[in-house]
Amino acid sequence: MKSMKLDHDEKDTLDSFERGEWRSVKNANREKNRYARYARATFRKDRRLNIRISTKDLEAIQKRALEEGLPYQTLISGLLHKFASGRLKEATHRRRPDAASVP
């Protein structure tokens, strides 16, 4: 049998399993159903949001979505979710002094 090439994370997981660090979960079906409910609730889209943005921004978003192979509304929804959950941070830029602060 051929040896599979594993990336770093896969190798760590395999090593952990081989050391016996993994244990079966009691009532696995119940736990699986519980986490499935959590996932459905997390990704349920039950509210509608209407916003106005510039044509230029919308076209740029649509272009990025096309590059990612996603519908643009899905891309926007994903970005908003990441921002709301704290996983998307604004890039920090050095501010140039504005004209009012220059003597």
C-alpha 8, offset from chain centre: 21
In terms of Cα–Cα distance, which of 102, 98, 57, 99 is closest to 76?
57
Judge whether residue 100 has pLDDT over 80: no
Model pTM above 0.75: no
Q: What is the pLDDT of residues 55-73, one digit of tens each?
A: 999 999 999 999 999 899 9
Average pLDDT, integer, range 3-21: 91
pLDDT band at 1 (very low <50, low <70, confident <90, very high): very low
Helix residue ranges per DSSP H, the chain: 8-18, 28-43, 55-68, 72-84
Q: What is the pLDDT of residues 14-54, one digit of tens each?
A: 999 999 999 888 899 998 998 888 788 777 778 889 999 99
